[in-house]
């Protein structure tokens, strides 16, 4: 009982010795500084983004006509990313300073590299380095169709830490730059569209060839974005034993899927329209 009373008395003495008015003033001061700093940085963020957007959407497009739009969009997203991380760094630095943590002394004592390792930033550094070389070597650009780590889709964002790829079904994939090892870019060269027409061994191949060639003659290559006129490759056997005639062509990047569907429909309609039966 006496021990309990002594403890309560001690707590009361400590409580009474604390200058709660000064503590409250200090807390209010810190909160006010943080709110003011946050508002200022948000304002800087808003103004900075508008300036960057204006420079890239008007100025650079007018004066750097030799730069492709995809490359401009990639540089634009990268600059926005760097700007965001700079503001975030200043906000964290000011937050720690306002709380009373000596950030400058901490960095000077531990070293920037040691501090980064201690905070578990190895992955972040790897993302930055790999992302830098991806951009430097122009491996990918915003709008390119690529395959990375079995993920295929269109690049929507290239940043310091991650690259975003939107799949055909709309899925948005976030891939850390350090995990990007092999990039298959399908938007840099002309792409092949391969049509396979199933036929029977008793089919009139000469007549089918004439129909295919006639259809190829009537194609609007420019409208379909075909860069090389379709040609008959030859015959091939499918894994299930089906005999097919292969017709190939080359298109501008991204147009190969549409061209394949259009030409395959034309070939099948032309052949069946001539009274030639095809395997189902």
Q: How confident is the model at residue 248 (pLDDT cuts 50, 70, 90)?
A: very high
Domain co-membership, 234 together with 166: no
pTM beyond 0.85, yes or no: no
Q: Distance between CA atoms of 185 and 210, rounded to whole angstroms?
A: 36
Q: Name the residue with tokens 């948000």.
A: 42
Task: State the Cα angle at 127 between 125 and 129, rounded to 5°.
Answer: 70
Domain co-membership, 6 together with 77: yes
pLDDT (mean) for 155-167: 86
The pLDDT mean for the chain works out to 78
Q: How confident is the model at residue 249 (pLDDT cuts 50, 70, 90)?
A: very high
Last residue of a domain, one of 95, 120, 145: 120
Domain co-membership, 49 together with 113: yes
Kindly tell me if the per-residue pLDDT of 47 is higher than 80: yes
Domain co-membership, 109 together with 18: yes
Domain co-membership, 168 together with 103: no
Q: How confident is the model at residue 264 (pLDDT cuts 50, 70, 90)?
A: very high
Q: Distance between CA atoms of 236 and 219, rounded to whole angstroms?
A: 25
The number of distinct structural domains making up the chain is 3
Q: Are 135 and 74 contacting, i.e. CB atoms less than 8 angstroms apart?
A: yes
Q: Note the residue count of the chain.
A: 280
Q: Which of 231, 197, 196 is nearest to 213 (CA)?
A: 231
Domain co-membership, 43 together with 147: no
Is residue 253 in a domain? yes
Q: What is the CATH number of the domain that holds 18?
A: 1.10.287
């Amino acid at each position: 009982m006496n021990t309990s009373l002594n403890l309560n008395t001690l707590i009361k003495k400590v409580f009474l010795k604390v200058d709660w008015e000064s503590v409250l003033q200090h807390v209010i001061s810190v909160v006010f500084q943080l709110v003011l700093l946050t508002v200022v940085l948000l304002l800087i963020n808003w103004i900075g983004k508008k300036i960057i957007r204006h420079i890239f959407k008007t100025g650079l497009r007018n004066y750097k006509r030799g730069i492709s739009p995809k490359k401009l969009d990639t540089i634009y997203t990268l600059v926005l990313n760097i700007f965001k991380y700079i503001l975030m760094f200043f906000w964290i630095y000011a937050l720690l300073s306002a709380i009373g943590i000596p950030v400058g002394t901490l960095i000077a004592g531990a070293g920037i590299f040691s501090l980064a390792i201690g905070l578990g930033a190895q992955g972040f550094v790897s993302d930055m380095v790999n992302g830098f070389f991806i951009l430097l070597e122009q491996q990918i650009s915003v709008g390119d169709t690529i395959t990375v780590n079995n993920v295929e889709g269109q690049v929507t964002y290239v940043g310091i830490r991650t690259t975003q790829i939107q799949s055909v079904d709309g899925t948005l994939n976030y891939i850390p730059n350090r995990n990007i090892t092999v990039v298959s870019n399908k938007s840099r060269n002309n792409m092949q569209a391969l049509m396979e027409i199933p036929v029977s061994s008793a089919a009139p191949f000469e007549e089918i060839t004439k129909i295919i060639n006639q259809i190829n003659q009537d194609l609007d290559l420019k409208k379909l974005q075909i860069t090389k006129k379709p040609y008959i490759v030859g015959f091939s056997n499918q894994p299930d034993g089906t005999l097919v005639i292969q017709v190939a062509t080359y298109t501008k990047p991204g147009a190969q899927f549409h061209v394949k569907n259009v030409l395959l429909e034309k070939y099948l309609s032309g052949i069946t329209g001539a009274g030639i039966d095809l395997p189902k």
